[in-house]
Amino acid sequence: MKLKETMSNTQSEKNNRLIEEIGDDHITNNIFDTPLRPDAFEMDDDTKMEKIESHFREIMEIMGLDLTDDSLSGTPRRVAKMYVKELFSGLNPKNLPALTHFKNHYKYNEMLVERDIMFHSNCEHHFVPIVGKAHIAYIANGQVIGLSKLHRVVNHFARRPQVQERMTIQIGEALKTVLGTDSVAVILDADHMCVSSRGINDQTSSTVTTFYGGKFLEEASRNEFVKLVGLRQGIMKY
């Protein structure tokens, strides 16, 4: 019996270490698609909010918080609404913004760059904020989209539990599809609260990820994009 208990405890310790390593090292096995169950959207939003509210109330009670206090009594409901309607609204593909494109009447065939697109996301390992800026460029192939649509694409993929590498690819692939061109470039430059507020507690580092397609695979175009973006220097201020 004692041998079995020892083996069970050892396996449990290994599993716990693996959980921590995956979180601290930002490891994911699914780099292209957000991990979702097939029935993810069978439940309506109101039901989801009711369930989240109930479970979050239980979490707060377990932590010893007094939910009869005026400041805390409405928190479970507020958190539930925030999760479903705001922070994680990008999980539902129905919320993908309509990306109407237009013909390139100006025959503009140079690089278009939209930089410093602010975004707020959440790390899927710890559910704490990722805050950063996206820089996007594309070279039109007969179709263009409004500048605000570039912002909306970034924010759609940010509003879900995320891994920055995956988010970078999702934005790039979405823009390639909409614009009908492979010549798309994306840079995300972000601060991760799971790094700065816990674990290693590093408040000075940032994470930069890139996506290049089409003409941006050529060194000259890629270097021009990076130069135009002018990556930030020092600590990001929001």
Query: What are the structure tokens assigned to 220, written together?
Result: 């000259």
* Per-domain residue ranges of the chain: 2-93, 99-229
Q: Which of 53, 135, 164, 170 is catalytic?
A: 164
Strand partners, 177: none
126 is catalytic: yes
pTM greater than the 0.75 cutoff:
yes
105 is catalytic: no
Q: Which of 53, 135, 156, 192 is catalytic?
A: 192
Number of Cβ within 10 Å of residue 203's Cβ equals 11
Question: Which pLDDT score, from 0 to 100, does residue 109 have?
Answer: 86
- The CATH code of the domain at 2-93 is 1.10.286.10
Q: Which of 53, 124, 156, 170 is catalytic?
A: 124
> In CATH terms, are 2-93 and 99-229 the same topology?
no
Specify the DSSP element, H or E, that contains 170.
helix 164-179
Question: Which pLDDT score, from 0 to 100, does residue 3 have?
Answer: 58
192 is catalytic: yes
> Residue 36 carries which side chain, given as an amino acid letter?
L
194 is catalytic: yes
Q: Which of 53, 126, 156, 162 is catalytic?
A: 126
Instruction: Give the Cα separation of 113 and 115 in Å (integer).
Output: 6
* Secondary structure class of 76 (helix, strand, coil): helix
Instruction: Give the Cα separation of 194 and 182 in Å (integer).
Output: 33
Contact 34, 91 (CB under 8 A): yes
Instruction: Give the Cα separation of 188 and 22 in Å (integer).
Output: 21
**Would you say how long the chain is, in residues?**
238
- The CATH code of the domain at 99-229 is 3.30.1130.10
Question: Which pLDDT score, from 0 to 100, does residue 198 have?
Answer: 87
Question: Which pLDDT score, from 0 to 100, does residue 107 have?
Answer: 81
Question: Which pLDDT score, from 0 to 100, does residue 75 have?
Answer: 98
Residues of the chain with pLDDT under 50: 26, 233-238
